[in-house]
Amino acid sequence: MSEFVYVTEEGLQKMKEELDMLRNERPAIARLIADARDKGDLTENAEYSAAKEAQGMLEMKIARLEDQVARSRIIDGSRINTKSVQILNRVRIRNKATGTVMEYQLVPEGEANLKEGKIAATSPIAQGLMGKEVGDEVEVKVPAGMISFEIVEISI
Per the CB < 8 A criterion, the answer to whether 65 and 15 are in contact is yes
Looking at the predicted structure, is the pLDDT value of residue 138 above 70? Answer: yes
Closest CA to 138 of 89, 90, 94: 94
Q: Which amino acid is at 145?
A: G
Distance between CA atoms of residues 93 and 38, nearest Å: 62
CATH number of the structural domain 5-74? 1.10.287.180
Distance between CA atoms of residues 154 and 114, nearest Å: 18
DSSP strand pairing (137-142 vs 72-74): unpaired
- Mean predicted confidence (pLDDT) in 134-154: 91
Angle between helices 46-71 and 26-37 (to 10 degrees): 160
pLDDT in tens, 2-41: 587 788 888 899 999 999 999 999 999 999 888 888 877 7
In the structure, what pLDDT confidence band is assigned to residue 132 with cuts at 50, 70 and 90?
very high
pLDDT in tens, 33-89: 888 888 777 667 788 888 889 999 999 999 999 998 998 888 877 777 888 998 889
Q: Where are the domains of the chain?
A: 5-74, 77-155
CATH 3.10.50.30 fits 77-155, yes or no: yes
Cα–Cα separations (whole angstroms), residue 80 to 49, 51, 84, 93: 51, 47, 10, 19
Tell me the backbone φ, ψ of residue 66, rounded to 5 degrees: -60, -40
